[in-house]
Structure 1
Amino acid sequence: MKKSGFIFFLFLTINSFAQDSVYTRNVINTLTSKAFWGRGYTKDGMKKAADYIADAYHRMGLLPMGTNYKQDFSFPVNTFPGKMMVSINGQKLIPGKDFIINNESPGIKQKANLTPLDSLNYQATSSLTVSLKDKLTWSVATEVGEKTILQVNKKYFTAIPKEISVDIENKFVPGFQAANVCAFVKGTRFPDSLLMITAHYDHLGGMGADTYFPGANDNAAGVATLLSLAKYYAAHPQPYSIGFICFAGEEAGLLGSRYFVENPLIPLNKIKFLLNLDLVGTGEAGMTVVNASVYPKAFALLNHINNQHRYISKINSRGKAANSDHYFFTERGVPAFFIYTQGGPSAYHDVFDQPETLPLTEYKDLFKLIVGFNEKLME
C-alpha cells in the first residue's frame, strides 16, 4: 500500500512538472508573439507585457507588493516607430537581417555615394556612415547622437558598397512610461523574511514598422520560469514569503531594478536571498552563477543540492558583474545570484532569438534546483 501511494505521489509530481513545461512554453510563445512587438518602446509592446504578467499574478492569487502589481517609473529612450528603408547599390535591405541602425542614431533621409575608409567602413556624408559586420546585434539607447550609423551584415551583401539611399524615422521619448511588476506569496511562519525571484520582461522592441525582436531566451524564458515558480509557490506557501519582480528597462541599462532599489516596495534588509533569472532557455553546456565567489557558502549549498540530484551538468562560478538586475541589490547588501544557462542557439539581441529554436533543455532541472535551494535557505 505504501509503495503504491509513493508511486501515485511520484506520478503527480512528474505530471505537475510536465504541466509546468507546457505553461512555460505557452508563456514564451505569448511574450515573443507579434502582438507584444518585442516588449519594447513602440506599439505598446512593453505595456502589453506588463499587463499580461500582472494578470498572471492576479489569476494565481499572488499579493501585490504595493497598492497594485505595478511600480511605475519613466526614463528617456530613442525609438524607431516608422520608416526604416535602406538601399545599397539599388538593392533594398531587410531590417534586422541585412542591417540594423545604431540605437543612438537620429532619423535621416539621404542619397549619397559611399567612400571607403577601410575594408569594413564607409563614409556617405558627415552625418551617415556604414560598417560591415559579421553579426548584427541591437540594443536600446536613452539619448540621441549626432550621427546615423548603419551596420550591414556582410554575408548578405557581397558587392562593394558604392551608393546608398536611406529613409529612417526616429522618435525620442523623454519620459517613456514603464513599470516593474511585483508580487509575493505570504510566508506561513516568517512572513517578514523574503526570498526573491526576479527576471526582466522587457526586450529591444521593434526597429521600424515591420521588424521586431522576439527575445525568446532574453528574457521571455526567464519570465516564464519565474511565473512557473510563482504558480508553484502560490499552491505551496513556504515558511518565508516568496517575492517575484519582473523588471522593465533592463535593456536600457538596468533601469527598472535600479529604480526599485532606490524606491523599494519592501525593506531591502528583509530579503534573505535573491535569484535573478536571465537567459535561462538553454543548458546543454551547464549554467553560470554570477556572484558565486561573493557568496561562497550559498554557492557551495547550490552545488551540494545539484550534485545530490544531478540536475545541471556543470555549474560555473563567476564573480561580481553589473550585467543584469541582481547588481543594484548586491550593491545595497542584498545577497543575490544571477543565473544564466549555456549552450544551444547563439542568437542574442537579434531577430533570430525566437521561441521555435529555444530548446528549454534544463527548464525542469533548473526549476527543481531553485525550489531545493530555497528550501535549504529557509531551514
Structure 2
Amino acid sequence: MNSPRKIIIISLISLFSFIVLHSQQLPPNVLKDVSRLTSKEFMGRGFSYNGNLKAANYLAERYKEIGLNAFEDGYFQSFKFPMNLIIPVPILEINGNKMDLGDNFIPYPLSGSGIVSTDDPIIYASNGLILPDQNINDFKDLLINDAVVVINETLTDSIKNNKAISPDDISKNSRIKNAQDLGAKAVLIKASNLVYGAPKSRFNIPIVDVKSETVDEKINNINLNIVSRFDSVKSNNVIGYISGSLYQDSTVVISAHYDHVSALSEDCYFPGANDNASGVAMILALAEYFTNNPIKYKIVVAAFSGEEEGLWGSKYFSENPYIDLSKCKFMLNLDMVASGNKSIMAVGGKDFTKQFEILSFINDSLNLGELGQRLNAPNSDHYPFTQKGVKAFFLYANKGTQPYHNIYDVPETLNWNSFSDIYELSRRFIEKL
C-alpha cells in the first residue's frame, strides 16, 4: 500500500517529466508556481505548520517580481475568521492495526476531540438514518450511549432518489448528529473516498472517515485519538494591481483562492494542485502578460484566502474594497482550471448574458470545445462581488475526473491542455472588456 511519503517522491519525479514536456506550451513560470504552491514547504496552504502564511509570502514575492503595484497598506489585506483546527497528529488503530493517515483514514473536518480505547463498545448502525416519515430508524433497539457508532456513508438508490426525503435529512452531518444526539462516544464512517474539507463548525465527539476496503472485516476494537480546537485564525488576501492605459478609477478584477485544506501531519498534507494552485498560477500568468500589455482599465489581481472555509477572504474584500466596486467593469474568478475534458463552465454565464456572448465568441473562434453556462451560485470567490452588484464569472474546467480534497491532488494529475485553453480564453476575454 502506498504511503503519503512514497506518493510525494513519485510526485516529484513525475513533476520533472511534466516540466520537460510542457515548458514550451504554457505561459512562463506556471509550472514553477504550481510546483512551489503544492510543495511540502507550504503544507497544504492551510493553518497547520504555518503553510497559509508561507504561501501568502510567496505570492507577495511573485507580485513584486512581476511588477504589480501595491495598494496603500501593501500587498496584504489581513482578516480573521473561525474554523475547526484538527491538531496534528490524529491516530487510529483498528483491530490492532495502525491505519495510515491520508491513505486509510482521515478525521472528519468537523470532528471534536476525544479518545476511544479498545474497551469501548462498537455498534453498527447501517446508514445512521432517522426518517420518521419513511418509517426508518437505523438506531432502533441499539445501545448507542457511550458506544463507537459505525456508519456506512454510501446510501441506497431508493433513499437517494426518494423525492419525499429532504437532502438535509440524509446528509453526512445529519447522520453524525443523529449518533451524537443519542450519546455516541465517537463515529466511524465507512467511506468510498477520503475527501477532506475546511471545517466551518464542530461536533462534540471524535469522528473519522475510513476507507471501506480497509475495514471489510468485523471491527472488534478501536484505538482513536483526535484533538481539535475551534478558534479564530488570521489570514491575508494578497492584492496588487496593474495601472490602466487610459482609466485608473475603472477596474477589472481577476482572482483565485490560494488557500487549501492544510495538513494532518508532516507526512500527510493536501497539495491542492487543481484546487487551487492551478487558478493561482493562472492569475500570476495573466498578471505577467498584462503588466507588459496593459488594457485601458486598471486590473486588480486578487489571491484570496479563506475560500475553503466559506469565502471569507472575498467577503472581507467586498466589504472593505480597495477600489470603488460601482466602477468595477467585471470580475473573473479562476478556480480548478487544470482538469476537465475539453469543456469549460462559466458560473454566472446565464446571469450576465452580454459578457457570456463575448466569452462564447472567443471560445468558438479558438475551437476550445464545449462552453457551458450556469446561474450564479455561492460556490467560489466571485459570489461576494455579485452581491455588491459586480458582474462576474467563475470559470472552471468541466467534466473529466480529478482528485479532489485528498492527498492525490498533485501536479502530475493536472490537465495542462485545459489550463492553456482557459488561460487563452481568459486573456482574450479581458482584452475585449
Matched, 1:97 2:103: yes
Partner of 2:314: 257
Residues 269, 308 of structure 1: CA spacing in aligned structure 2 closer, same or farther, 3 A cutoff? same
Deviations 1:172-213 (A, max 9, x none): 3x3311000001100011121111100000000012443111
Q: In the TM superposition, what is the alpha-carbon distance from 1:80 to its structure 2 partner?
A: 2.1
Partner of 1:10: none
CA distance in 2, matches of 1:69, 1:206: 26
Q: In the TM superposition, what is the alpha-carbon distance from 1:168 to its structure 2 partner?
A: 2.0
CA distance in 2, matches of 1:369, 1:21: 13
Deviations 1:305-362 (A, max 9, x none): 111121x211011111110000010011000000000244421111111112112222
Residues 106, 210 of structure 1: CA spacing in aligned structure 2 closer, same or farther, 3 A cutoff? farther
Residues 38, 256 of structure 1: CA spacing in aligned structure 2 closer, same or farther, 3 A cutoff? same
Matched, 1:59 2:65: yes
Q: In the TM superposition, what is the alpha-carbon distance from 1:301 to its structure 2 partner?
A: 1.0
Aligned match of 1:278 in 316, 331, 335? 335
Aligned match of 1:237 in 272, 275, 294? 294
Q: In the TM superposition, what is the alpha-carbon distance from 1:151 to its structure 2 partner?
A: 1.2
Structure 1: which 4+ aligned runs deviate by more than 4 Å? 119-123
Partner of 1:166: 224
> In structure 2, the residue corresponding to 1:207 is in which secondary structure?
strand
Partner of 2:124: 116
Opposite residue 162 of structure 1, the aligned amino acid is N
Conservation of the 8 A alpha-carbon contact between 1:84 and 1:209: no
Conservation of the 8 A alpha-carbon contact between 2:83 and 2:201: yes
CA distance in 2, matches of 1:18, 1:191: 34
Partner of 1:69: 75
Q: In the TM superposition, what is the alpha-carbon distance from 1:119 to its structure 2 partner?
A: 6.8
Conservation of the 8 A alpha-carbon contact between 1:199 and 1:245: yes
Matched, 1:185 2:191: no
Matched, 1:227 2:284: yes
Aligned match of 1:308 in 365, 372, 390? 365
Q: In the TM superposition, what is the alpha-carbon distance from 1:162 to its structure 2 partner?
A: 2.3
Partner of 2:153: none
> In structure 1, the residue corresponding to 2:36 is in which secondary structure?
helix
Conservation of the 8 A alpha-carbon contact between 2:341 and 2:399: yes
Partner of 2:395: 339
CA distance in 2, matches of 1:324, 1:351: 22
Matched, 1:134 2:158: no
Partner of 1:295: 352
Conservation of the 8 A alpha-carbon contact between 1:40 and 1:205: yes
Identity of aligned residues (%): 36
Conservation of the 8 A alpha-carbon contact between 2:28 and 2:285: no
CA distance in 1, matches of 2:350, 2:400: 26
Conservation of the 8 A alpha-carbon contact between 1:284 and 1:344: yes
Q: In the TM superposition, what is the alpha-carbon distance from 1:45 to its structure 2 partner?
A: 0.4
Q: In the TM superposition, what is the alpha-carbon distance from 1:96 to its structure 2 partner?
A: 1.6
Residues 74, 296 of structure 1: CA spacing in aligned structure 2 closer, same or farther, 3 A cutoff? same
> In structure 2, the residue corresponding to 1:333 is in which secondary structure?
coil
- Normalising by structure 1, we get a TM-score of 0.90
How does 1:203-218 map onto structure 2 within 5 Å?
Answer: 203-218=260-275
CA distance in 1, matches of 2:72, 2:188: 47
User: Does 207-216 or 23-32 show the bigger shift?
Assistant: 207-216
CA distance in 2, matches of 1:345, 1:216: 14
- Normalising by structure 2, we get a TM-score of 0.79
Partner of 1:266: 323
Conservation of the 8 A alpha-carbon contact between 1:84 and 1:207: yes
User: Gaps (5+ residues) in structure 2?
Assistant: 1-22, 129-137, 139-143, 150-183
User: Gaps (5+ residues) in structure 1?
Assistant: 1-16
Deviations 1:218-255 (A, max 9, x none): 00000000100011111112211111100000000011
- Root mean square deviation of aligned Cα: 1.9
CA distance in 2, matches of 1:156, 1:346: 22
> In structure 2, the residue corresponding to 1:375 is in which secondary structure?
helix
